[in-house]
Amino acid sequence: MDGKRVLLIVSGGIAAYKCPDLVRRLRERGTLVRCLLTQGGAEFVTALALQAVSEEKVYQNLFSLTDENEMGHIRLSRESDLILIAPATANIIAKMAHGQADDLATTAILASDKPVFIAPAMNHYMYNHPATQANLALLIARGVTVIGPEEGNMACREFGMGRMSEPLEIVAKLDSFFATNLPLKGKRALVTSGPTFEAIDPVRFIGNRSSGKQGHAIARALAALGCQTTLISGPTQQTDPIGVCVVHVESAREMLSACETALPADIAVCAAAVSDWRAKSEVGSKIKKAAGAAPPNLKLTDNPDILATLSQLVIKRPELVVGFAAETDDVISNATSKRKRKECDWIIANDVSPHTGTFNGDANKVHLITSGGVENWPKMSKIKVGEKLAERITAHFGDAS
């Protein structure tokens, strides 16, 4: 990042208190940081503090003659390699999504042709509000990179998703963006991982034993090669991989909708063990067990097939769609016909018979099936399978370009 110029826009959230540290961390890596403070941002952190750590003038006013004289909004964005908005409040995200330009920050963003990164920070209800989610989806579709947010305790004493990522995490994201030798830089991937839980009633669900280890390892490996990766994870015990945008879901229908939101993508890897069925009618209150009564009849209905849906998209189909085939018999022939039936490009077949210990284990023995034939990979850790797949994907794009 040595010599790179970052325009840091600080909008009005309590997480702005982390910004002097963020500036310091960026500067430690040789980055030149110029700060732009919104009116709200200035309520949480002073221009003086940002100026002291950045050793640069801090810009605040769209109509200030002095600021315009020294550095107009156009120059502010032109003279940077990247714009980072941290913290990005729900308000500035909404303004960006709708192209508003009513202050120096939003005007500089709109006038920019530079890559834009945002680190959202807000109360979890604000973050989960459909309006904020729709605005974020719009920005992602336009190529904005979203860092975080994280789940945790918030300044408002509530717990949830909406804490700004830590400065070091943000710096790591920019670091990998600026790294020039990452082969999947500029590519976007979505990866599904883990099981899905299909509610029967508020306390019971249909689920499976998938640990999410393989899907998470793939997402981590793709991100490490510079791929902008969204991991759509069912309920698992895995920690969110650093440098990956993680969307947590429960059901297959939520997983599909999160996948659609993550499009466009160049690569889709469907590693999740999606429940094939869900209860036909989810009951709103707990089904009671009456003494002597027969057990309830559970009627099931089909879940959407995410892999087939993504593979068969006419618009926005990822260039490379990779599926998994967990089989217990005739592993390769079943997986080969699954590849054809679902219309994905590659399928990774693995034997999940109980004696293999694949489900929930740390190792995997897989076969990669492509239109060119079958590659038998030796048994290796799921982390290694992730890395090998990411390398194979890199080679595919290398060959294709």
Q: Using CB under 6 A, which of 219, 274, 349, 393 touches ligand C5P? A: 274
Is residue 259 a contact partner of residue 268, using CB atoms and an 8 Å limit?
A: yes
Q: Does 12 bind ligand C5P (CB under 6 A)?
A: no
Distance CA 370, CA 344 (A): 9
Sites for ligand C5P among residues 208-267 (CB under 6 A)? 252
Active site residue 259: no
Shortest reach from residue 236's CB to ligand C5P, in Å: 14
Stretch that binds ligand C5P, among 70-78, 173-181, 225-233, 272-280 (CB under 6 A): 272-280
Q: Cβ closer to ligand C5P: 209 or 289?
A: 209
Helix spans in 111-251 (H): 124-128, 130-141, 167-178, 213-224
b/e per residue 141-159 (b: at least 16 CB within 10 A): eeebbbbbbbbeebeeeee
Shortest reach from residue 181's CB to ligand C5P, in Å: 31
Which two tokens mark 104? 């120096």
Shortest reach from residue 380's CB to ligand C5P, in Å: 19
Q: Does 146 bind ligand C5P (CB under 6 A)?
A: no
CA Rg value for the chain = 23
Shortest reach from residue 223's CB to ligand C5P, in Å: 19
- Provide the 8-state DSSP code for 97: H
Shortest reach from residue 319's CB to ligand C5P, in Å: 17
Shortest reach from residue 344's CB to ligand C5P, in Å: 8
Query: Nearest-5° angle of CA 25, CA 30, CA 31?
Result: 75
Q: Using CB under 6 A, which of 96, 221, 268, 325 touches ligand C5P? A: 325
Q: Using CB under 6 A, which of 164, 200, 219, 306 touches ligand C5P? A: 306
Cβ contacts of 287 within 8 Å, gap of 6 or more: 200, 201, 204, 296
Query: Nearest-5° angle of CA 149, CA 247, CA 300?
Result: 150
Sites for ligand C5P among residues 326-355 (CB under 6 A)? 338
37 CB burial (10 A radius; 0-12, 13-18, 19+): buried
Query: Nearest-5° angle of CA 155, CA 138, CA 176?
Result: 70
Is residue 274 a contact partner of residue 303, using CB atoms and an 8 Å limit?
A: yes
Stretch that binds ligand C5P, among 110-118, 164-172, 304-312, 388-396 (CB under 6 A): 304-312
Stretch that binds ligand C5P, among 9-17, 103-111, 287-295, 298-306 (CB under 6 A): 298-306
Which two tokens mark 30? 């040789």
Q: Cβ closer to ligand C5P: 67 or 305?
A: 305
Q: Cβ closer to ligand C5P: 305 or 351?
A: 305
Q: Does 53 bind ligand C5P (CB under 6 A)?
A: no
Most distant CA pair in the chain, distance? 84
Place of tokens 């909708």: 257
Q: Does 323 bind ligand C5P (CB under 6 A)?
A: yes
Q: Which of 19, 35, 156, 227 is catalytic?
A: 156
Catalytic residue annotation: 156
Residues found near ligand C5P in the complex (CB under 6 A): 192, 252, 270-272, 274, 276, 303, 305-307, 323-325, 338
